[in-house]
Structure 1
Amino acid sequence: MNSNHSTAKRILQLREAIEKHDYSYYVLDAPTVPDSEYDRLFNELRELETQQPELITADSPTRRVSGQPLDTFQQVQHQVPMLSLGNAFAAEQVLDFAQRVEQSLKQASDDLFSVAKVEYCCEPKLDGLAVSISYEQGVLTRAATRGDGQTGEDITANVRTIRNVPLKLQGKGWPELLEVRGEVYMPKQGFADLNERVLAAGSKPFANPRNAAAGSLRQLDAKITATRPLEFCCYGTSTEGLAESHSETLQRLREWGISISPELKVMDSIEDCLAYYADIGARRTQLPYDIDGVVFKVNALIQQQSLGFRAREPRWAIAYKYAAQEEITELLDVEFQVGRTGAVTPVARLKPVHVGGVMVSNATLHNMDEVARLGVMIGDQVIVRRAGDVIPQITQVVLERRSEHVQPVQIPTQCPVCGAKVERTQLVRRSKSKQVLSDGAVWRCMGRLSCQAQLQQALLHFVSRRAMDIDGLGEKIIEQLVTRKLVASPADLYRLTYEQVIELDGFADVSASNLLAAIAQSKEPTLARLIFALGIPDVGEETAKVLARALGSLQRIRKAYPQTLLWLPEIGLEVAHEIASFFSDEHNQSVLTELLELNVQPIDEGEPEPQFQGFTTLAGFIEQFNIAGVARTTAQRLAEHFKSVDAVFAADWLALSSIDRISKNAAQAVERFIQQGGQREQALQLEQQLLDFGMHWSCQSKTVQAAPLTNQTWVLTGTLETLTRTQAKTRLELLGAKVAGSVSAKTSCVVAGANAGSKLVRAQELNITVLDEAEFLEKIAELEG
């Protein structure tokens, strides 16, 4: 009796918890627990109800699909219920599913099933929001969320904004009424771009692509949804009679313009399904969208009909889920690491927990602003997310589980490595003749390269593959060099002797000679590689390439004023000041001088590329001084009137006030600017630098012959045997191409090496030109002349 009472009480607790999580997940789009936690609760409830079937009630979560429609949208009744799928978390459960399918078919009254072969249709399980889209006479008439499976929400206006959802079906042969079902999701790159825009606007970023997709679909203003990078993938239809199998049905839908998964495959056995699961799992992080498993469906529709449904799910399909990518655990402590630029970064130390098939005990917290945004405290229960090879991160605090013993996270006042002072970076905002200091997100150790942590990280970056590419200098070797005080700066690498290297742990005659040879071979990098290798804060590979192309030499880059750098594409105010500050630092100047004396010389120095010749304007030059009341139009009128910088500074009040369509306030502001001490000298220095660099508006712009692959986007996939991926990318970029990481309708060409995967399939679907490695090498050799 006590046992029954205890079970009944636990069932009520589980139902209440599940209903609460359902409301947060489906209605508020703000899940409070990861999927793995929800699955555990649901499976426990189902197990208890199996043991005590008399305690099952009609309103139990196991008897219906979760979720309730939102009150703010018109409700829609599904003619055919939208059911969820049963889940498997181990291969044995999938094999049990297949055995149940075969036994059920053999027991069917029609002898056909006792001999018929069972095929399975396989596809990834997208992590998005399930929707139903209806077409009448081939025209989209309604779209709805799944809701509780019986009743959903009318989101027609929002779904109409999704670019890959056809407003009118293509081809012919579609039925008068057609309802398709699938997943609305947000691709990984689109999610990253969206969060970048959200952060730039000062708003709270989305936790993951699924939340972003769900929130986008539930916007009351469809104009907002239209700005979100949503996509739709169809996984089925409630309309009968389109074909004899599930896979054939999806192919028919594809012919009518409905997007289906490019990973869709039909397997002859459940063993092949398990191989499919393993293959997708191996490529999971390279897919352009998030998935949490794969779905296996009996392919023959007549077999599906025979197998039928349970109360909550079909008997002919199962979702085989991957290891959870989110888990709840305890934040035990927060420690601080020091990076190559001196950034002091908080790192979460966690109670070990399995996430995504890996035991996780550490997670990134990015910076103290992120700590404040999350509101995380030591001792909190937190949700940890791990997507593929991405460093685990804390995405949320479970406030309902916070104890009274939590402690705040505090930044150290002294570097945990060298003991030097830790200071918060200051951002300089310049506008309209004034500058405002504000706190930056980064705290830095002021010990510079006297701090062993900064030195080691700086050296590792300097020798990395995309920088100076010195093979054989790994983390352990760098650590020995620093610890034994053989290297105190990147320049010291080029002073190493055979006698010093041979004494390091793990080195013998051949390996020591090979390392010294690799160091010697790195003395002739491209200018862009050298700039990137220096580790200038906020200067990545692309910015380094811009500096190299636009200025042409290390000497010009070292001398460039921030105002000169601002003319260059993709270089903003803060990055310009970071670059100028780096090269004005005495220690950095000393290291660069030493590198040059040791014959580390870029092989491609010369004049700036022709398109940067004379591309500045006098109007832009005037506008750059942020004179109050002098915006672009007024600057243009001043430039047209005075024609030169000298003439502007020679102007008096009478000359300024006589200029057509310049206000009295603007004229007074310009006069005050001219009269300020040092302004003329600064302006003349800037102008002289533009002249020296060939960027001045008086310099004749050279005729530029476009590179042969300008405005083309190429994608590399698979393994290349002759070239490394980096070498292939560099050669394409020198020919003017942009090298992207994913295939889209805008892709010009795909280079497919050995073992090419989903990118090749996507290219073939879009009829994009595909070259194998031999064809690619022949093509670029021809273009390089």
Structure 2
Amino acid sequence: MTYQDYMTLIEEIEQHNMHYYVHSNPVISDAQFDQLMQQLIQMEQQNPERIIPQSPTQRVGGTVDQAFQPIAHKTPMLSLDNSFNHEDIHDFYQRISKVATDLALTAEPKLDGLALSCIYIDHKLDKAITRGDGTMGEDVTHNVRTIKNIPQILPKTAPKYLEVRGEVVIHKADFTTMNAGLEKPFANPRNAASGSLRQLDPAITAKRPLTFYAYSLLGDTLPNTHAERMAWLEVHHFQTPKPFYLLESLSEVIGYLNHIQEIRHELGYEIDGAVIKVNHIDDQDKLGNRSKSPRWATAYKFPAEEAQSLILDIEFSVGRTGVLTPVAKLKPTNVSGVIVSQATLHNIHELRRKDIRIGDTVSIRRAGDVIPEVIEPILSQRPQATQTITPPTHCPSCHTPVIQEKTFIRCPNGLNCPAQLASAIIHFSSRSALNIQGLGKQLIHHLCQQQLVKIPADLFTLSATDIHTLPKMGEKSTQNLLKAIDQCRDISLDRLIYALGIKDVGKDTARILAQHFTLAELKHLTLEQITALNGIGDNTANSLITYFKDEAACSALEKLEQQLRIRQLQTTQNNQFSGLKFVITGTLSQPREVISQFIRDHGGTISGQVSQKTDYLVYGENAGSKFTKAQKMGIQCIDEAALSTLATSIR
């Protein structure tokens, strides 16, 4: 048989898979399907060089991967702003009505699973990437090929480049069946979906009942409304969340929210709310995005479901900044499908105000369906013998006398406190900081307990002997970790600033500081110099000044500087792209993230959509509709060479 015969057979089998798994409407018998599969297997045995990753024979799982490779998203996978009541929805509607020309909205369930991006090139599934931090995700392509309702090959009517985003879930019935056969059952369907998709062995993933629901479509020559794109997905054999509605007024939106909340437990999958989107893509472009979320969509979160439990004990945990947080140890209780055995009491002021005691029966809920919290004690069920809590006078980790700060009590011992040290190292090595692969929380606790790491710089002086003595660290794991640590020595200043864990300094603030000052300059800044920067207030400025006045912190930082190669971002004088917004499209000579980083390093911002706020469109080959739209709007379009020239010409 020819290669064309091979591809035709694969496409025929793929169509039957979609009829069976997506539409629940098989058009041939199981025996006929088995015959087609046997024909394909025989063809591949005779011509092994023809086997492509998208073949149905490859869905059972391939070789075991040692790790998931990080991949940059071409367009960031932004989070959604949350709305918690109808008033929030009304405010959202009022905001969009000031910009949008078409006020039609769409509504769909907010699935509680793992966000995934499937990228198709030349009609074949090329890559599958988890959401990650929204900018960088993990390559889980091998595992995603085992999910039976994800098309491996699209019809020729699809664009040559396409990105389908959605959620991987496990249906509630499948979850119950799967859990019954596991030695260590999962707590809930979401954890099961996430754990299954991130298995190192695709053969294990293949045995898990994963289902993908698509809710977003990116690419060229696509319909110009969200509703039409959802219909497009259905036609091209993708499952989408139901019930999906196109709504014409605010009252219809409220009606949908009431309806979806009433039927949430009747649906086959877990949901934690609904997503409301502006329907017309042009209006989405006009509204644009914030740094972390689109302005044209909101997630309506269901009120947290409550349960009752018994407080067995109250302990105090020590966070990264030394704040002591009271934590209630509970009799294990099911709350919204999750077994909860502990819940936060926030701070000592809340503990006193609510008069919560050991021995109380309390109402608990998962705040935002995520973090368990104690609402209040049920006084009618309070026994005579309860125990009130006296705030600790000394840190439970290092026994240093605590200090009172407004509603908080804090351990002032910094990195000399084992709990603060471990939390600091966890933050320091996290994805948005140094991103040290393979350095998990448990291993960090072992390193700190063995006093192998006392400050962040100690990570870079660890030897193979040090690591090999720790639990579950064989020779190969040890060498992999040492290699991962060494690869993190080259770091940009903004990531380093964030990694230091300075109070009130997040990723955006760290980037602003790195664009305007060197590390040496940061150590001697005044309040006026810091607050002169757009977006930085007094609290953050005071936190920075306090940090750089701390002798122990400065000493630890100096030792860290000796171990790292710190890349300075563009300073104010050379920040040529400050205030400029760029859109990137087409096939470029360098990875998209390299171009994006170049723009950010020069002070510019990146947007995924062309709008009136776009200053420049950077294009490569096969630029498509964004390029056409930018030309029609009079936006300046430049290639990579012109971008480099622009960086030197703007003063």
TM-score relative to the length of structure 2: 0.48
Relative contact order higher in (CA < 8 Å, ≥ 6 apart): 2
**Greater Cα radius of gyration, structure 1 or 2:** 1
